[in-house]
Structure 1
């Protein structure tokens, strides 16, 4: 029996950007044995992944799903999503929460944040230059950019941002004991609850203050803050770090981006497709559904592989090749359907600024260690690197 965890997390030796070999051999729709004995399904084709994600007969409710990962299989079903955690809800509850936030994440509003992202990246690059090589790009650049932007979006006061970022980073750090991660999450929840109370008392110009004017409870507001933090920090940080690793491993593509910054938008979409850092998602069938000639029964858990969908040759020509000039429109890295990532435009702004700024500031940027020694987050829900030591020729 195939280890489900290996299907999503075991990258081929020496090929850190490629999907697991077993995943490539799967049919577009196949049965998947879960550690707890549940027989679910695995979807790997681009067309079927989008079909499942857009079909309201497949639910996002956590309490209806089984997990394919051993670490989560001891619990028969997880509890329902707490108030405000709308990612684990279906309409109409999901619609209510998402509708309150949609206006805050428009393309226009996110573009207005570009100047602030440019200021943050310039300050971080200045600090890297002052320190001199080598540096860990994760802690020096990739993590601070989205962390600072999320802090500003939520209205975290400057004095509390360092501890806020430290706890946020610890929550997703698989190098530290799980007890410490739970402790960091508890501290983060406490901080967010205190922040909500502060915004109610003295609103400022930020997202949480805007939301306090409605009928949301303190618990709902704190959980929305935690959700936005979880969705917007670890994902973008790993895209920036792993994306830089990919560019440094493909010097021809790096040279193309440096020579023509006009392809930046295409390059970002292609890196999102090529890397697919959020490798999979899950849905639960609410009723019997026929899909690709097979019957998925009510109650079955369906795992959709974003990684496989984005490497589907039926959708993308030569999908295993990184081509920054490719039209990667239609990739599933931000999901699809009503649950498509709410903060995707902010993530795009951050990447469109950060990648060109980095390679322009350090034209000789390169890895400071052999590529095979870069520590990968191979067993994390969000793929990436733990550290990325880089160096450059000082002027």
Structure 2
């Protein structure tokens, strides 16, 4: 079994197992956070991926935490994303939309009362990328202490996810991925370090996974469970998320998601030098708890990717930075062609330079 054998991820049929990982690029049209023709070109250039997972896309104005990131909650945004899906499909590709509520990973400029929402009023010890409205320059800024969500407001956010999934379907996406990793809202509910609630959404593991289950059910009701995935980062230690009990909570949640019939679980594994590794026991227990497909991402080399698939711990592997600088990454991997490096200075914001200007191999 290799990276270049077809595989079905739920109802989505992939011609290869080289998935494009979700990566924030902050190039939506302002005002309105609307996907545009340049974004359509960017994804269409990478349509040879087995499947594209888009950049994280806010489900509501409240769910925003970074400048210039796209949304999926307005008619203009739906139309903008339809332009993207049409361009990818015209090239024979498959594309799913990552649904995002940042929770406490945000900045006061995006909220009328200056307070992002979270399970509890605990700052994340993290930064987000913000463009100064006066200078037009972007930079990383500290996240404030958030406002704890009232219990009766949680159902409204679940509804926002449901509507976002409906909008994604209208925009022509082949599926959606629920972002429940990296310290964002769903992940913050899962962990005892960020969730100090005393109501039905805090305390026990069953309570802490309740919000994630409700979101998965709401999204699946619109897109179909077999076209819905979810992303976790069980072993993240950054952003105040270092909870040794989180992996077991995610395994408990995986059993619930298996009952719902979600198409896949996507593991965001740490890709910095001294990051904690995902242990084999977790991979085995995840396979035992969940019968759907498993995707992995996080600094994988081609050899590591093949090993993960051949071991049975993954069905496909998502690549991030290599896909930025190598639009034809599957071909380069298949033919062992050299990979171009990406320009980190053009990662967030800007124009076509460092976005759609990378060349394909000849």
Point out which structure has higher relative CO (alpha carbons under 8 A, 6+ apart).
1
Name the one with the larger strand percent: 2
Same fold, TM exceeding 0.5?
A: no
